[in-house]
Structure 1
Amino acid sequence: MFEQRNDVMEYADYISLHAYFDRISSPEILDEIYAKYDKQILYTEMSFAVFKGEKVLPGSWPRAEELIKILMETLQHNVAAYVDWNLILLETGGPSYLGSFIEAYILANEDFTVFYKQPLFYAMAHFAKFISPHSIRISSAVINPGKSQVITVAYLRPDNKVCVVLYNNGTNPVALTLADDLKGITKLQLKPKSLNTLIYSTRSG
């Protein structure tokens, strides 16, 4: 597109990407895109079990963990929104024009009388529920090297509340002290392999 029109970005509001190669690509690519074009980045297609040899894994927590890591990592690197490929598919996977057995957040039986909410559903719902539209990402970091198993991302929401998402990727509980220059500190205990959200007002009193 740039070879034909070097002003093409003047007519674009967003840059969209797919998430399928997040496993093998660096998130710094997202920072480079944002710095170069100054456009919001949208993930407009993600799904699991797309590649050959993969399959639907009903009730898979490891697959939910992979989604959590993708979300946490890409949100930290300027991704603003997500559109998943599939919300509901058959429990066997599909139907798919690719002829593969693709994962979904909700699985249904053949006559759509029974539905199963996957761990994927609850992982994505956690982010969608607490990080409200038009929130602004703010700086957050885990500064103790011994707590490297914890991943975090934080937002200032339109209701003037701070939303801090914390994921303990380890198999042991972690004690943390959350420090906010304006609000002070609070003690937290994160269970192993747990996704947590803390929401608090920025107003005093």
Structure 2
Amino acid sequence: MKKITTAALLAVSFLALAQQKSKIQSKLFSTKDKTVSVYTTADNTKLRLTLTDKLVLSPSKQPLETEISVFVEPKKTFQSFMGIGGAITDASAEVFAKLPKDKQQELLNAYYDKEKGIGYSLVRTTIHSSDFSSESYTYIKEGDAALKTFNIDHDRQYRIPLIKKAIKTAGGKLSIYASPWSPPAFMKSNNSMLKGGTLLPEYYQSWANYYTKFIKAYEKEGIPIWGLTVQNEPMAVQSWESCVYTADAERDFLKNFLGPTMKKEGLGDKKIVVWDHNRDLMNQRANVIFSDPEASKYAWGMGFHWYESWSGGAPMFENVRKVQEAYPSKNLLFTEGCVEKFDAKKYQFWANGERYGTSIINDFNNGTVGWTDWNILLDQKGGPNHVGNFCFAPIHADLNSGELIYTPSYYYIGHFSKFIRPDAKRVSTAVSRSSLLSTSFLNTDGKMVTVVMNQSDKEITYNLIIASEKTVVVIPAHGIQTLVY
């Protein structure tokens, strides 16, 4: 009898706790007595993350087919938001070091200050060199498989100081992860850090050890490392640092070497991200790695890029959703995107910003938890880059004048990163016309953030319908708005 009573009491207690938790969650958001603050950025205007309206809500009726509407249902929530940020590469750090002190502070505020800037919370960085370095280099002497000469002195000149300043500006916390572009030349089949090649089996353990050395060295510098990706773009043979892993090869390296080595070295809590390449082949890579229990247990999730459109096709956003549906316990992280082929005449080319908005909204709506841009800063040539692969960044520095140039991409990213904060929950959002894109997140402070993007050439009036409440909003042609309520 006593056993039954105890079990019953436990069941009642558990039910009471569950109900209490449910009540807290349902109370978290309400439209009662709220106004909607509207921030707008638009082409052919001076509006840049500008507060343009404060709107009141009223009861909503059935919208007509002739009306355009954005529907938000606060009771339906999805993935938690990890953050948005960009990569601090050697190139970004070298350009930063050449700026006047006041411009350095302006850049730090622009990215990492929540009030003065757009509040980045993520950082990607590289494990030794990438194409966005002034030269190829590693942290060891060539041939040192035992890693006895390992040191990060190279990074202490530019990159580490910038990362530390970014952390300080962000209030002391940033989620930082690292990616390698290539193992040292002697570890590879082509005996070069450039132009692909594969990791030789006899160096699997040495290379796994290299990641742990990197993490420990950076953490000794006071830079906490949240996680790493196994290999940047493992199916691309590039003219710069690159290394090819088939799905089977990445699975086996993770399962037999990298995962166990991280655990053995006391780094089992660091997150390991697989793939780190385009959306086109991500489903096959997920199937091979996540279907293997021994490999899958070491993988926090999958990283992806946006460059699959190199073939002339459209971005394959659906593939992100298909991985999320097939492997719901795994996380999806956008790890790199930039506008290729730098051209100074296109600093203010609006479509570049819209490319960011389109990708960010689709990626989050398909289950992504975080989104990381490529270089945070490049010079007036789109570099430095040691193989001439010059690209755009959201902010460029003209080192001749010492000025910073803000592109539309900066503002488009800011419409998300400034207002949606880590641990927010994505909320069900849909649009009634293809001219608009939208996503919503509920922050932990109870504020809802809905981002709406107008891809059309015309100003659009739309209903914002939140459960049973509504307001009417006007968005300019080729504009993006963040609605906070």
**TM-score, normalised via structure 2 length:** 0.38
Match of 2:372 in 1: 83
2:382 maps to 1:96: no
How many Å apart are 1:165 and its aligned residue? 0.5
Could you tell me which amino acid in structure 2 is paired with residue 197 of structure 1?
Answer: T
Q: Greater share of helix residues, 1 or 2?
A: 2
2:308 maps to 1:21: yes
How many Å apart are 1:93 and its aligned residue? 0.8
How many Å apart are 1:24 and its aligned residue? 3.1
Could you tell me which amino acid in structure 1 is paired with residue 379 of structure 2?
Answer: L
> In structure 1, what is the Cα distance between the partners aligned to 2:438 and 2:455?
11
- Counting aligned pairs with the same residue, the percent is 24
In our comparison, the structure showing a higher alpha carbon Rg is 2
Match of 2:353 in 1: 64
5 Å matches for 1:179-190?
Answer: 179-181=465-467, 184-190=469-475
Match of 1:40 in 2: 331
> Helix, strand or coil: the match of 1:67?
helix
> Helix, strand or coil: the match of 2:323?
helix
How many Å apart are 1:137 and its aligned residue? 0.9
2:297 to 2, 5, 10: 10
- Number of corresponding residues: 192
Could you tell me which amino acid in structure 1 is paired with residue 299 of structure 2?
Answer: A
Checking the alignment, whether the CA contact within 8 Å between 1:96 and 1:102 is kept in structure 2 is no
1:127 to 416, 427, 434: 416
> In structure 1, what is the Cα distance between the partners aligned to 2:477 and 2:342?
27
Checking the alignment, whether the CA contact within 8 Å between 2:380 and 2:398 is kept in structure 1 is yes
2:463 to 171, 177, 184: 177
Cα distance per residue 1:171-195 (max 9 Å; x no partner): 111111111125x111111111110
Unaligned 5+ runs, structure 1: 201-205
Change in Cα spacing, 1:192 to 1:161, as seen in structure 2 (3 Å) is same
> Helix, strand or coil: the match of 2:321?
helix
Checking the alignment, whether the CA contact within 8 Å between 2:415 and 2:451 is kept in structure 1 is no
Checking the alignment, whether the CA contact within 8 Å between 1:89 and 1:108 is kept in structure 2 is yes
Cα distance per residue 1:11-31 (max 9 Å; x no partner): 121211112125634211111
Checking the alignment, whether the CA contact within 8 Å between 1:9 and 1:37 is kept in structure 2 is no
Cα distance per residue 1:89-112 (max 9 Å; x no partner): 011111124422111111112357
Checking the alignment, whether the CA contact within 8 Å between 1:168 and 1:190 is kept in structure 2 is yes
Checking the alignment, whether the CA contact within 8 Å between 1:31 and 1:78 is kept in structure 2 is yes
2:478 maps to 1:193: yes
Cα distance per residue 1:63-87 (max 9 Å; x no partner): 1111111111111111111222211
Could you tell me which amino acid in structure 1 is paired with residue 437 of structure 2?
Answer: I
**TM-score, normalised via structure 1 length:** 0.86
Could you tell me which amino acid in structure 2 is paired with residue 149 of structure 1?
Answer: S
> In structure 2, what is the Cα distance between the partners aligned to 1:105 and 1:25?
20
1:31 to 318, 321, 330: 321
Q: Greater share of strand residues, 1 or 2?
A: 1
How many Å apart are 1:170 and its aligned residue? 1.0
> In structure 1, what is the Cα distance between the partners aligned to 2:459 and 2:465?
19
> In structure 1, what is the Cα distance between the partners aligned to 2:401 and 2:333?
31
> In structure 2, what is the Cα distance between the partners aligned to 1:190 and 1:113?
35
> In structure 2, what is the Cα distance between the partners aligned to 1:59 and 1:95?
21
> In structure 1, what is the Cα distance between the partners aligned to 2:319 and 2:387?
28
> In structure 2, what is the Cα distance between the partners aligned to 1:193 and 1:59?
13
Match of 1:203 in 2: none
How many Å apart are 1:34 and its aligned residue? 1.2
Cα distance per residue 1:30-82 (max 9 Å; x no partner): 11111222211111111111xxxx32321221111111111111111111112
Cα distance per residue 1:119-163 (max 9 Å; x no partner): 1111111210011111111111112xxx32011111111111111
> Helix, strand or coil: the match of 1:82?
strand
Unaligned 5+ runs, structure 2: 1-246, 256-291
